[in-house]
């Protein structure tokens, strides 16, 4: 049976908007409120970050959000509880993004089971090697129907891309540059050249890292099936910006809004 993530990518081919935010930020009980508002604004897909003390791939904005969430008392167990209690109200797909140490401490099978019970459709674990996924995670990913999404960068070899394409589903997370989250996209012309290496892959693609406004979102969507916005949205939350206004500014140009 298709989960929500599969259904989304089967039905929508272009301009998919994914928003990332950190669980428990800005307040301990903010997660479901933010999730519901994003759903109401027409966001296609939401990635919820599991707070972690040493997030290697994250820039300062997401790091600070994670530190604040930990101070607020957010845990993976609490996140599952919040999501499970609100599962009937959420129709859009949810992906959890976190680091391997958190999942190992929680228990690998318990983690995948928790995802299934709380309505999570997929996971992104940036520091999970494919080899370890095959040995210890794949059995639970399949058992609980939770998709695992892997990341590639412009420096990923063609051989590695092909291997990732075999295991990632239903999309591959294309990191726009060899940097941390929040940094501007180095060059869309470089991405265009890189995308020539992706012509034969079976998966859809989403571009992340440095997507922050209508212009960068539109450019990313010309190359990929959609784009992921994280640091810019976390910054908006920190400023208490209206979520509907933020999403509208991403999906519509200023001329369209006049």
Active site residues: 47, 58
Q: What are the φ/ψ torsions at residue 203 (nearest 5 degrees)?
A: -80, 155
Q: Could you tell me if 95 and 151 are in contact, meaning their C-beta atoms sit under 8 angstroms apart?
A: no
165 CB-near residues (< 8 Å, 6+ apart): 172, 201, 202, 203
Residue 15: left if φ>0, alpha if ψ -120 to 50, beta else—which one?
A: left
Helix, strand and coil content of the chain, in percent to the nearest 5, comes to 50, 15, 35
Q: CA 160, CA 174: separation in Å to the nearest integer?
A: 13
- Between the alpha carbon of residue 31 and those of residues 37, 120, 219, the distances in Å are 10, 14, 29
Cα–Cα nearest to 211, from 221, 197, 198, 225 = 221
Angle (nearest 5°) at CA 55 between 139 and 119: 45
Q: CA 203, CA 166: separation in Å to the nearest integer?
A: 9
């Amino acid at each position: 049976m298709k989960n929500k993530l599969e259904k989304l990518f089967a039905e929508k081919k272009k301009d998919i908007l994914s928003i990332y935010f950190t669980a428990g930020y800005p307040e301990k009980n903010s997660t479901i409120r933010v999730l519901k508002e994003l759903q109401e604004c027409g966001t296609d897909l939401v990635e919820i970050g599991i707070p972690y003390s040493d997030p290697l791939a994250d820039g300062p904005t997401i790091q600070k959000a994670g530190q604040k969430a930990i101070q607020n008392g957010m845990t993976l167990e609490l996140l599952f509880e919040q999501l499970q209690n609100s599962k009937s109200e959420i129709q859009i797909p949810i992906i959890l993004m976190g680091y391997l140490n958190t999942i190992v401490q929680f228990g690998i099978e318990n983690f995948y089971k928790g995802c299934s019970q709380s309505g999570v459709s997929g996971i992104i674990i940036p520091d999970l090697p494919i080899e370890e996924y095959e040995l210890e995670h794949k059995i639970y990913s399949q058992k609980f129907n939770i998709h695992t999404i892997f990341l590639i960068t412009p420096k990923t070899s063609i051989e590695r891309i092909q291997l990732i394409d075999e295991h990632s589903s239903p999309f591959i997370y294309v990191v726009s540059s060899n940097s941390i989250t929040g940094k501007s996209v180095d060059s869309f012309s470089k991405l265009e050249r890189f995308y020539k290496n992706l012509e034969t892959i079976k998966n859809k693609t989403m571009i992340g890292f440095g997507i922050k406004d209508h212009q960068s979102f539109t450019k990313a969507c010309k190359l990929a099936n959609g784009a992921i916005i994280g640091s810019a949205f976390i910054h908006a939350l920190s400023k208490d910006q209206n979520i509907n206004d933020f999403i509208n500014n991403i999906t519509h140009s200023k001329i369209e809004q006049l």
